Amino acid sequence: MDYLKKYNEWLESNEIDEETKEELRKIKNDEEEIKDRFYKELEFGTAGLRGVVGAGTNRMNKYTVGKATQGLANYIIKNNAQDRGVAVAYDSRHMSKEFSRLACLILNANGIKTYRFESLRPTPELSYTVRKLNCVSGIVITASHNPPKYNGYKVYWEDGAQISYPVDDEITKEVNSVTSYSEIKQLQEKEAVEKGLYNTIGEGIDNKYIQYLKSISLNPEIIKREADNLKIVYTPLHGTGGKLAERILKELGFSKVYTVKEQAEPNGDFPTVAYPNPEDPAAFDLALKLAKEVDADIVIANDPDADRIGLHVKDNKTGKYVLFNGNMIGLTVADYLITQKREKGLLDKNSALIKTIVSSNMTDRICEKNNVALFEVLTGFKNIAAKIKEFEKNNTYKCIMGFEESYGCLVGDEVRDKDGIAALMLLSEAAAFYKNKGLTLWDNMKEMYEKYGYYKESQIAIVLEGADGAQKIKNMMEDLRINSPEIISDNKVLKIRDYLNGTIKNIKESKTDEEELPKSNVLYFELENDYWVAVRPSGTEPKIKFYMGVKGNDLEDAENKLNKLTDGVRKLIK
C-alpha cells in the first residue's frame, strides 16, 4: 500500500504546510480518495501537468507545480538560457493566478527572468509572446476545456510550441530528479522585482498580437461591406477569450457582435455549463438562445483558454442552427484561406497544410485540387508545430494552416499552438465573404461536399478515471493489439498501423512490415470503401478515444454509413 505510506509521509513532513495537512486529515477514513491522490506522481507528460486541484502527489498543488518549475529551471540553467527569460500566462481556473505567480518566483530564485501577464490571457497569445519576446520558454496555467476541478501547467519552448522530443524528455528527467520539495527555490516578489527578474506585461503584447491577427485577414473590404448585416453571437464560456475576441472583431469593423452576458465574466466554477467545452453541444445553450433572439448568422464559442473554437451556423432554409464539428470548422477555414489566397495570387508554390492522422480525409482532396502540399502528423499541436519547425530548418515549405479534429487550428506560423482567436476572426470573415455572395457558411459547406466528396467523421470518448481507469485503458489498447478485428461493421480491415510498435500489418497479404512511424500509443485501421478507425488514449484527460470516418454518395448516405460504422466501433469496446 505505497499510497498510504506516501499519504502519511506528507502528514509527517516538515516540507508540507499545515493547511495542506489539514486538507489531508479530512480524508483519513476514505482509502479510495487517498489512493487516487497518492497512487502515483502527477506525471509531467504531454507538455506539462494536468490534474485535479488538491493535496497529494497526484494532484495540482503548489508542491507539484513547484517541482515542475524547479525542474524546468534546472534545464534552462543547463542550457545557459536564463537571461532570455520565460513568458507566463494563466486562465480563469481556480489557482491559476496563484500557480502562475509561484512559477515566476521559483524561476526568479534560480536567476531566470520572467514576463508574466498582468491578468488572464489566451493560450495562443502566450505562444505568440514566447517568440515575440525571444524567450527560451513559456508557461501557461490552464486545464483548457476540462471540468472545473482540474487545472494544468503547459510548457512551451523557444519556437512558441509545446515542448516536444527531445526537449520534453530532457525536462521530464530534470523534473523527476527533484526528489525533495526542499530543493524548490523561491524569491519574494518584491525582491524579484527589484532585481529585474519579475516583469509584468500586458497591453503592449496585446496590441502586437492584434496587429498580427489583422495581417492574416484576406478580405477586409468585404468585412466593411457586410459589417452591419452579419450578426455574430459569441461566448468565451467564462474564460480568457472575451477581451481579445471582442476587440479584434470590433477593429475589423463588425458592428453586430452579441456576447453572452451570463458567460462573459471569467469564473473558474463555469457556473452556466456542466462542461466548458465547445465540443459539447450543451455548452451552446445560452448562446443559441441569444442567437434566436437576435437572429444571428453564426454562433461562436471559445473554451476557457481560447485555443479551441466551436461553431453553429444558421440554415436560412430551415431557420435552425447547424452544429459544425471540429473537422467542418477546420475544413471551412482551410478552403477559405486556400481558395482566397489562390484567387489573389498569394498562394506560394511551397504552401503546405498540416493535419493530424485523425482529421478529415476531405483535407486531402482540398489540397490536391488546389495544388497545396499536405502533411500528416500525430494528434497534438506540438506535432504540427514540429513540422513547421522542420520546414524552417530545411527551408522547404511555408505553413498556410494546421488543424486537428479536436476543434483547433492555427493560421500561418507566428502562433505555434491552437489559436481560437484567429479561428474566430477568420470564420467571421468567411461568413461575411459568403454572405456577400448570398450564402451562409452552411451553404458553403454543402458546396464543399459536392466539390470534394461527402466525408463525415465522428468520435467516441470513454472517460475512465483513477488508477483502475488507467489500467482499463491500458488493457483495452493491449486487447486491440492482440485481438485486432479483421472486419468492422461489415467493412474489411485492409491495414493496421501500430504507431507504438512501428509496424503496418497488411491483412490481405498476411504480412507485417516494420515502418518508421512516429512513436505513439495509437492504432489506425484502414478499411475498404475509404473508411477508417483510429484508437488512442488521451494525453491530457483520463479518456480513451475512438475516431472514425467514412465517405458517402451524398450527405444522407454518408450519415447513414457513419452511424453504422459507429455502431460497429462500439462493439469493439469491452
Check the CA dihedral 345-351-354-359 and report its sign.
positive
Q: Which of 92, 183, 106 is nearest to 137 (CA)?
A: 106
What's the rounded Cα separation, in Å, for the pair 72 and 258?
42
Q: What is the DSSP string of 201-243?
A: E-HHHHHHHHHHHHHT-S-HHHHHHHTTT--EEEE-TTSS-HH
Strand partners, 89: 140
Q: What is the DSSP string of 52-105?
A: EBSSSTTSBSHHHHHHHHHHHHHHHHHTT-TTT-EEEEE-SSTTHHHHHHHHHH
What's the rounded Cα separation, in Å, for the pair 185 and 355?
41
* 93 close to 150: Cβ distance less than 8 angstroms: yes
CA geometry: angle 139, 140, 142, nearest 5 deg: 145
Q: Out of 92, 127, 137, 144, which one is annotated catalytic?
A: 144
Coil, strand or helix at 368? helix
DSSP element (H, E) containing 309: strand 309-314
Q: Which of 365, 566, 564 is nearest to 455 (CA)?
A: 365
* 86 close to 136: Cβ distance less than 8 angstroms: yes
Does 144 qualify as catalytic in the annotation? yes
* 202 close to 244: Cβ distance less than 8 angstroms: no
Coil, strand or helix at 361? coil
What's the rounded Cα separation, in Å, for the pair 312 and 279?
11
DSSP element (H, E) containing 288: helix 285-294
Residues belonging to the active site: 144
